[in-house]
Amino acid sequence: MKLKGKQTWRFENDIYLSSCGTAVGPIEMEGPLGKMFDKTYDNLYCGEENWELAERKLMTDAIESCLKKAHKKKSQIDFLLAGDLLNQIVTSNYVAREMEIPFLGMFGACSTSMETLALGAVLVDGGYASNVVAAASSHNATAERQFRYPTEYGGQKPDSATFTVTGAGAALVSREKSKIKITEATIGKVVDLGVNNPFDMGSAMAPAAHDTILAHLRDTGRDASEYDLIVTGDLSRVGSTILLKLLEDEGVHLQNNFSDCGVMIYSPDQPVFAGGSGCACSAVVTYGHLVEEIKNGHLKKIFVVATGALLSPLMIQQKETIPCIAHGVVLELDEGVPNG
């Protein structure tokens, strides 16, 4: 691995995203990408007694689906890197208890999907592991209960609010050839421009995405047009608009090659306010939809920039502003690897 510029890793070996697994809840199943997910549930309980157990079920499903596709047993996995939104990342902790795989728990809020993927690639590239699973999850009802108001409360929300995605995504990182190579990762800095409204996460996170995208382009010396797609994690319609304006002010123009996972996962007529958010947002869209677009040759080079709001209920109660971060990973089509 080589450091390019100040924030970007270039992997020296051929590192592959060997397989993926996804699981989602009912609203995600009904969205435009619903058929792309491996496991779907028609209610938020996912056959469990409570929402927290449901989230564990989703992460377990995603990991097991990922391993099944790769024809791997749990005993063949060197490390599990996982995170979620709940206090002390309890979803990941309890899933790791059942998996019995050496575990590194990670928290980057909604940026966790790319944080785990980037560090998984570092471990494999450096020879510290052969097979690493990177996973992330979120659940609408568990996140609402922790960060805002319990779902039963029925509180009204403004149009700027985002809707936490119920789901989980997992990816196997290894040197076993596949159609998708992990070539670079840009690690973000914490950015806080003073937003303190937990019902407007898009506005809070857009500056962090802006900072990471600019850092990546600066470090690599590339133009944004060299990517078939630059996709953010969960800025929603509000945050995406702000990001595009911030980049335009810097002379970076993203139009036809930009999208946001929080916008892609839901239809405009679904009751999701400004769009999707949560650890699972970028995870399930990337591992369920975008990887297939690469495999099919519709996309050849993409930069996935997952954004995260590093807040807690306690800090919001103390009137703190919301520090945010964004981590990005470059995924490329390896045209030398045959289909199948």
pTM across the whole model = 0.95
Token output for 33: 């990408």
Give the Å distances, CA to CA, from 151 to 44, 56, 127, 197. 11, 19, 45, 19
Query: Can you read off the two tokens belonging to residue 62?
Result: 């995603």
Q: Which two tokens stand for residue 240?
A: 């995406």
- What residues does 324 pair with on adjacent strands? 191, 309
pLDDT of 158 above 50: no
The CA-atom distances, in angstroms, between 202 and each of 104, 239, 262, 329 are: 28, 4, 10, 20
- Summarised one tens digit per residue, pLDDT across range 318-327 is 878 999 999 9
Predicted confidence band of residue 140 (pLDDT cuts 50, 70, 90) = confident
Mean pLDDT of the chain: 92
Q: Which of 68-72, 182-186, 258-262, 272-276 has the lowest mean pLDDT?
A: 272-276
pLDDT (tens digit per residue) in 73-110: 999 999 999 999 999 999 999 999 999 999 999 999 99
